[in-house]
Amino acid sequence: MTTALSTQDARPKQKIKIILALAIPAMVENFLQTIVGFVDTLFVAKLGINEVAAVGVTNAIVAVYIAIFMALSVGTSSLIARSIGAGDWSRAKSIARQSTWMAAVVGLVFGLATLIFAEPLLRLMGADDAVVREGVIYFRIVAGPAIFLSLMTVFGSILRASGDTKTPMKVGLWINLVHIVLDYVLIFGIAGIAGWGIAGAAWATTLVRILGTVMLFLYIRKSKLSFSFRKEATDGSILPLLKLSGPAAAERLIMRFGQVLYFGLIIKIGTDVYAAHVIAGNIEIFSYMPGYGLAIAATTLVGQQFGANRIKDAYQYGWLTTGIAVVFMSFVGLLMFIFSPFAAQWFTQDQSIVDMITVALRIDAFAQPFLAVSLVLAGALQGIGDTKSPMYSTAIGMWFIRVLGVYVLCFQWGMGIAGVWLSIALDLFIRAVYLTVRFKKVMGS
């Protein structure tokens, strides 16, 4: 396990090795999750269009749940990383315990809300009767036991904050393999036993979340962060946890609801433009993996050094991690620019759609360095306890730059898909500049 002690007095080359040792397992974990998502969609697509729509609408709602759970994990990661950096393992354990209880309570509340309001929520999303009929089944099975999704999210953040990104990756590998097998067996059946259709897909997801929760907790029990559920909290960590998680939750909700408005505007441009945008987004998601992995490393390492009052090292780790991300993602951007026409043809043979996807991805290729800076510096700021700056950058970027950009470039100037992705690129550029200035100011440079 990589801890603050092993990062002390490291030279730049050693720091780069430490960063990559943390980031690469997180990248692999994200990649596995994305691949399984594709396989899951492929299996469900064989059931019918209503089932695909039901899963899609449900996942849009569950994404809001995940946003809240991820926000709690941001506060958990920041406080644990700083406590470990300061050498205060007792406080780190207390935070782990308290965040676990909070995750359990929040998960139970969301699960209960799902069981009661599943149908109204699906109708609120605009689903028709056929989709609601299938969606209610899937939604209640997947999100009724939301406590396991909540706990699994927080348990992963507890281990990563201590510098252990390999364990969540290993757990992710096993549960994703199990997920694919369960998906097929429970959806389609095996050895003459009938499958359960969309309910089978839902149970496959729920069962692997339970398995993942148990496995991660067992690993925590073997680590230096092992804690007792019964021990009373005495260090007053709940309020700081809420203060950090609150803005992080607001950021993710701002993003989710902003996307609803933003996507609504794109649909009004034209169905073909919206289809091209969605496909381009599905291809682009792979470019985020290096950034997400390095953002996790930045949160952990910057937070640990900051907690140990090694501000210079924290600052160095922030910039080194950002530099590595820029290199990684610029290379991804180059590949995206060259191979976007070929990638587009995996999804459609309509040449007009292929051309639009190519335009979108080639614009996005030039935005990759700014995306790298935005992701990693947001993670670094969260590591030192500044969750408000990323929230502000998301609010301004999503609600003003993207929405206003689409309105002006697409509706006023008629730029189509190019206007949509130029708005995204402008948003990422401004976020990168703002977070760079903010990181320098917070670190006193």
CA 72 to CA 249: how far, in whole Å? Answer: 7
**Which residues does residue 194 pair with via DSSP β-bridges, in sequence order?**
189
H or E stretch covering 62: helix 49-85
Whether 264 shows a pLDDT value over 90: the answer reads no
Task: Encode pLDDT of 324-378 as tens digits.
Answer: 999 999 999 999 999 999 988 887 788 888 899 999 999 999 999 999 999 999 9
CA 1 to CA 51: how far, in whole Å? Answer: 43
CA distances to 7, 25, 85, 163 from 4, in Å: 5, 18, 5, 8
CA 436 to CA 374: how far, in whole Å? Answer: 8
CA 278 to CA 417: how far, in whole Å? Answer: 11
Per-residue DSSP letter, 286? G
Whether 5 shows a pLDDT value over 50: the answer reads no
User: In sequence order, what are the residues at sequence separation of 6 or more whose Cβ sits closer than 8 angstroms to the Cβ of residue 152?
Assistant: 209, 212, 213, 216
User: In sequence order, what are the residues at sequence separation of 6 or more whose Cβ sits closer than 8 angstroms to the Cβ of residue 172?
Assistant: 28, 29, 32, 33, 212
Q: Strand, coil or helix: what is 170?
A: helix
What confidence category does residue 286 fall into, taking pLDDT thresholds of 50, 70 and 90? Answer: confident
241 and 79 Cβ atoms separated by less than 8 Å: yes
370 half-sphere exposure, CB direction, 13 A CA radius: 18
CA 30 to CA 216: how far, in whole Å? Answer: 16
Task: Encode pLDDT of 305-330 as tens digits.
Answer: 988 899 999 999 999 999 999 999 99
H helix and E strand count, the chain: 16, 2
Whether 182 shows a pLDDT value over 60: the answer reads yes
Whether 245 shows a pLDDT value over 60: the answer reads yes
CA 329 to CA 324: how far, in whole Å? Answer: 9
Is pLDDT larger for residue 430 or for residue 283?
430
Report the range of poorest mean pLDDT among 76-90, 142-156, 226-240, 265-279: 226-240
